[in-house]
């Protein structure tokens, strides 16, 4: 019997899709950060990249972190915009005065 290949390590996209699969609220999405081990790995890769010491595989891994960061930043931006629009709509509803059958505003 041949030995099994090493277990696949958890990627940044694994962490993000696991989180999104929990159906988080808008607030939870905005508060989300990578797990500590992945953030430490991203920091390490960025530091190595700054010193031009990345292997080709590490460069690919760093690229995955950067892609994930772009996608999640865009998601957070859109979620934040949606929350602001909902807040504005609620404020406008509170400010609107009732109108009678003739179309006159009432107090």
Q: Residue 6 pLDDT > 50, yes or no?
A: no
Question: Residue 63: exposed, middle, or buried by beta-carbon count in 10 A (0-12, 13-18, 19+)?
Answer: exposed
| Distances 28 to 10, 23, 33, 79 between C-alpha atoms, Å | 21, 9, 10, 10
Quick: pLDDT tens for 40-58: 999 999 999 999 999 999 9
Q: Write down the pLDDT at residue 100.
A: 63
Average pLDDT, the chain: 87
The position carrying tokens 């595989």 is: 57
Q: Read off the pLDDT band of 8 (50, 70, 90).
A: low
| DSSP-derived secondary structure for 39-56 | HHHHHHHHHHHHTT---H
Three-state secondary-structure class, residue 105: strand
Quick: pLDDT tens for 56-76: 999 999 999 999 999 999 999
Give the whole-angstrom CA distance, residue 45 versus residue 42. 5
């Amino acid at each position: 019997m041949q030995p099994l290949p090493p277990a696949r390590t958890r990627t940044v996209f694994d962490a993000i899709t696991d989180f999104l699969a929990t159906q988080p609220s808008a607030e939870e999405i905005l508060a989300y950060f990578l797990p500590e081990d992945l953030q430490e790995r991203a920091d390490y890769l960025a530091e190595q990249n700054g010193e031009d010491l990345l292997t080709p595989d590490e460069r690919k891994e760093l690229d995955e972190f950067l892609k994930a960061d772009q996608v999640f930043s865009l998601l957070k931006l859109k979620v934040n915009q949606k929350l602001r629009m909902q807040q504005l709509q609620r404020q406008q509803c509170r400010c609107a005065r009732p109108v009678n059958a003739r179309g006159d505003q009432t107090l």
